[in-house]
Every structure is written in C-alpha cells, then in structure tokens.
Amino acid sequence: MNVDTISIIISVITVGVALGAVHMAAFKQLRQEMNRGFRESREYTDQRFTELRGYTDQRFNESRDDIRELRRDVNYLREAVAGLREAVGMLQERMGVKTG
C-alpha cells in the first residue's frame, strides 16, 4: 500500500465515524422525542380518565340518592294508603256498609 491508499482509507474511516456519530445523535434525539410524546400521551389519558371517573362517580351518587328518595317516598305513600284504608274501613263500619 502506498501513502495515497492509506490516506484514502483513513478518510473513508473518518467520514464513516462522523456519519455514524451524526446518525447516533439523530437517533438519540428521535428516541427522546418519542419518549416525550409517549409521556405526554399517558399524562393526557390519565387526566381524562380521572375527570371521567369523577363525573361517573358523581352521576352514580346522584342516581343512588334519587333511588333512596324514591324508596322513601314510596314508603310514605304505602303508609298513607294504609291509613286511608283504615279510615275508609272505620267509616264503613260506622255507616253500616258491608264490604265484600
């Protein structure tokens, strides 16, 4: 090998090393950007699920409260109807009305 051949080989190796370093830097930057995107996506998704969970919990609690109120009202109505039946029965007895 002569000096020119060695010089060409060294130049090719130097260029290869430089290109490899550039590609590695670009790859590292790409990886960092991808990781940032994944992190932001997870944060956004977590935030939205937290908001939705709060909303559904609120709606569930409101529905549960509505059902409790409805049950209470139904019990009051049962008591009122029972009282009316008793009052009607007493009136019928006083009036001498026979029921069948």
For every residue of 75-100, DSSP letters joined together read: HHHHHHHHHHHHHHHHHHHHHT----
pTM over 0.75: no
Contact 99, 92 (CB under 8 A): yes
The helix/strand count (H/E) of the chain reads as: 1, 0
Name the token pair of 85.
Answer: 């039946």
Q: How confident is the model at residue 100 (pLDDT cuts 50, 70, 90)?
A: low
> DSSP assignment, residue 1?
-
Instruction: Write 42-47 long-range contacts (CB < 8 A, 24+).
Output: none
Torsion of CA 34, 40, 43, 44, to 10 degrees: -120
- What are 32-87's pLDDT values in tens digits? 999 999 999 999 999 999 999 999 999 999 999 999 999 999 999 999 999 999 99
